[in-house]
Structure 1
Amino acid sequence: MATAHFLEVDGSVFDCPICLERYKVPKVLPCLHTFCRQCIHAYVESFAKPESDEDENSAHYIECPVCRQRVVAPRPNISSEDWANTFPGNHLLLSLQEMNDGQETPKNSVLCEPCKRVNERKIALFYCSNCDEKLCKSCYSYMHSRIPKYLNHNVTGIIATDSILPSSNDVDHCIIHKNKSVRFFCFDHEELSCSVCYDAIHHKCTNVKPLDEITENNNEEQLEHISCVIASFKRKLNSEIKKTITNVQQIEELQETIKNDVVTFVNDAKIQLDELQDKFLKNLEVMHAFEKSCLQNKQITLENFVQNLAHSELTLTKANANRPSRMKFLTKQRVKIDLTRHFDDFIKQENSYNWTTYEWKENAMLKSIKEMENIGNVRVIHDDSDFVSDLRREIELIKTPTTRNLQNPTNKASVVVNYLTSYFVRCQEDETVPWITDGEFLNDGSLMMVDKKNSCIKRISSTTGTTSILLSKKSEEIRGLCTTDGDEKVFVSVGDTISEFSLSPTFRYQKDFSKEKMEFYQLVARQDIIFAHIGNPWCVRVIRKSDGKILKTLTGSSCGYGYFALSRDGNRIIYSKPGSVVCDEVESGNQVFQCSLKELGTVRKSIKGIGVDFHDNIYVCDSIGSSIIQISNDGKFVRKVIPKLHQIKKPYAICFDKSGKKFFVSSWLDTHCKIELYELHF
């Protein structure tokens, strides 16, 4: 019997010359020196040189880090990652490494039984009760996770969960170079790095900080924020598990129902066919008896006619034998009369003398049954689910870098945003694609919005999602609206005035609110006053509801065609200026803080959508990045609270409900108009 002999190899053979750690995906150069794929990738990215300084499109080359032999790129303009991937893997080294790892397997470890049969030593992580075998990760992945007949096997883990979780000591070590401690954090790549990773990968990055510098200003709030995201993650996963269990029960019931329906249908069809068969055979028997009787009567008639002809023939023969002329005449006449009478009787059954046959023609439905390949189809319907998208956004919340002073959000800014649903804003027959620039949540859950392009106010039902028009002004431009807290009144900026409408029980015009003619845009109501965005010149004015008198023009509010928002108490105003978002005190006009677009991480000249949540954190639309940016209420923290909206591209407006815990975002596209609803969890 053959015996496996493991080689005794010095561990340094399996160490990469660049990182001095165990090989991770070893790649061999033409000179036969081997390096980790990530190490040679970083080396190529850092030290690749063009063969010709005069030709920018010439192929690049590197020198082997060990022997300095020149290695030329397979083609010009190839990326460093693709170049590193073209180098062949060192399978011999991998085999030796696996054999060496087998020698180091602890004696009391549970070994994979399929691997033992081919003289390999790998630790078993799973147990299959159907196969009654212990399996390593590879055997489990390639057999029980891929081959259909193994998919239903009962496989359980045989290593305690705690043994596969990283210990507190592992957290401090580099995930690539296990013996190195992490010392830096690269904000450009959002990666922790040890000194080797820094030298190989991140030495050219512009935003790398030592961990000691970062942890001085961090981390309790951020850990709490991540814990909040994890808690939300667990809640959604547990909810999805319950839904999945319910779904399994549902399809089990549906499968049983379909099976019973098919059996019942087929049995009913069999009974119906049996009844139709009996009826058909009886009718066939009656018809056959009748036709047979007709033919038999035909036969008798023909035979009688033949006998009559024979009798007439005999009479004529006797008359011709020495009979007087008088008797011959009488006989002739009598024979004529008899022949005529017999023929008349004969022709009365004329239809009986046709040839009779049977022709069978099956019912078309019966023929289709014989040609059927199946009795029906079961269509699997997979409803669209936002579950994975929601989880992806939750992960993005953890991964999203802070861009302002590397500070963490306060507890009041630590929120998790959940996607709720979306609606298409429908066009009427004579309308162009809607352009939603402003809106409000009504107390019944429906949405009231300004369609600036079609100069109308539309309402979307929260129950049916249908779009209806409340107000249309083709001759004047509708630009903004706001409602009172109880939804009793709606104030609408129409052309150069503000009009007041009642909302309940019907949407009805009451009066023009403003006394002075101005170019009104966005409106925000607070108690007994309205903040109105005015054009020509651009400013924000405070107007009293009762008489339309202008109480104040806010200094520094020349925001141009931008958006503004108010804090919950109305003491602060936030608006967009070219190149920044500014927060001022309403009463004094003093600036509280200012965020540049660079700090917001967007290149757009002016932010078009601004909203404020329950804790006065500010939310703006980044139409280039299709994201929503959050600014903390003190202006010290900025992050992308929604790195990627669900489906909307080019977000234009953001509108919060009266609680400050729910908002919708509208799109700005030429092809369609869509809004998405989100909810905040603090």
Structure 2
Amino acid sequence: MATSRADFQNEEKQNCPICLGDFKIPRQLPCMHSFCEKCLQDYLSSQEEKINKLKQIECPICRQAVSVSKQGNPVSSLASQFPIDVILQSILSDSKVKVDQPCEACHSAGISSQAQNICMVCEEAMCINCSVAHRNQKISRNHVIISMEEFSSNPQNAIKFAKGFSCTEHDGEALDFYCKDHKSVCCSKCCIVSHRNCANVSELKKELPNLLQEIDSDSVNEQMKRIETHLVKFMEANESNISLLESQVNDLTNQISDLRKKINDVLDELETKVKMEGHIICKEETIQKQEKSHHCQSLINSVRNSHKVLETVKKYGTEMQVFLLTEKMTSQLSSYLDQIQEKYMKMETTIVCLEVSPKVKSMFSADLDHLAKIVSKQKLQSLPFPSFKRPSRDHLVQMERIIEIKDNENLLPDYSGITYLYSGHLVLADYANHRVCLVDPSNNVTIVCTLSDYIYDICLVNDDDEVAVTSPFKNTVQFLSVRNGKIRPTRTISHRYSSHGVAPAGKGKIVISGYCGGLESKYFWSFVSMGGKEEYCHEFNCQCYRSFTHVAMDVSFNHVYMTVSDAHSLYCFDITGIQKFVYTNDKLKEPRGVATDRYDNVYVVGYDSDNIHQIAPSGIVLQIISAGPLVNPQAICFRRDSDTILVVNDSDRKLYQYQVK
């Protein structure tokens, strides 16, 4: 701690506040803080730039500015210009100045010598040679010089010798005066320079009795001790914090080591997993892709051989051979195009990547977005379809006759749905008149069942001649029994959405389609049991608003075909909801009814385009049929287990029968 003049009588051993060891040649700054000469010199050397620039330093303890005059001396020897703290020196030597005190003049010159005398005027310790030289100087000839033993035997000499009792502004001048205006002691020079305008300056001896009554040296000393106690506690807390910091750094180092081990363990485990699962995926995908490549190569060879044979026959064969082979090749060409559309229009590119798990991600930065378990993903890349025209097959579908329905009721029917019974009878849904009409083989309406609301589509749902009709405005499907010359409603089931189209879905289920409602352009198709339980519902967006829909399934019940009239599109999905294709054509306007034949070809009627589109299972159009007076065809169905197509024409309320050849 720093030693002040108030506790100079403390007999406890003092330590240098810089090195915290015993004082060695204590040097005192004007602020009355003392330090070992070597410690002070080291501090001055560290402040060399400030000394050269400002000619001053700050006390390491109180930060008071201290003037430093180099006077041509290097910074490395400036500590010696500050006086020795004689009182502290006396305290450290049991109130006696150490006999081995060095000569200050020789020490400043870098010479080691023992001080034996002290000049009481200059207040400087000197060796024998410096004492003789001091007496020979004219200016110091009359100075009082006493021996070190005589000086140390009288404590009053030590006190008088101390720098703390002389003027800090004028070196060596005694503090003999007191200024009441400024309430401060001063020397004679201060009176002339700083206090010449002060009215209350008097000798310190005269004012001393009054001043002694005003001060309390014991209180000052006690406060000094409190400050010391506080500083000691602060230093102890500081040292304790240093120890805590060192302990925390060690703990963090150990934590980093543990974390590194855990991360390495995770990465080792992940590496093993990647190698194992990656090789499995690679092997499985390689086998599958090689099988596809082999199949594709076989198809390439078949196509290559076919067109080579045709070229050879055209060059060397007869006209009959060319005709027969061309007919055969036409069918083969359609088969090739179907296979390309189904299997080779999209190329599956399998990739492997790392997927992040929260446990692993928490150990890494947010940039490591691909880390945890290995997964496979597939990206479908479409290939351009061969740019050639499918051969025309206009003779595939031919119109046979027009059927006029004989209805005794004086109503204008609006047939929106049609289905065949196993008995050969037809059942028609009359949308506007809320009727279900049974038509016998002679085309007469024999039985009519009137329902409470509009009905849109109709289908046969089982072998017992039970049909289902949809009521789009009530979101219901009604079941009716058609047997024994009667049509009788059996039950009604509700659906959460508006139900338009209906078709059998096998295994005691039906598929219904319609509009989901709300402001979004969203549509649905749904598998529903005969009891009304929804088993699966697929919703999808479509860029149109509240259009009517029809629905059908292929003979194996693996694909759903659904028309959306205002979107001018036919959608194809598998039973899991994956979209297989969307069929659009400039010649298909507002598609309505949809049906499939026993070869899984799809037939869609265009209400505004007045035609029928025959589409392959792959989504490629096979034929557009516009023969006959088709005007606003509305619904379509196949006669059970035959190639006979019936189409309801909305303009004249007649049936048009076609035959697939």
Bucket of the pairwise TM-score, normalised by the shorter protein? 0.3 to 0.5
Highest relative contact order (Cα 8 Å, sep 6+), 1 or 2? 1
TM-score, normalised via structure 1 length: 0.37
Bigger Cα Rg:
2
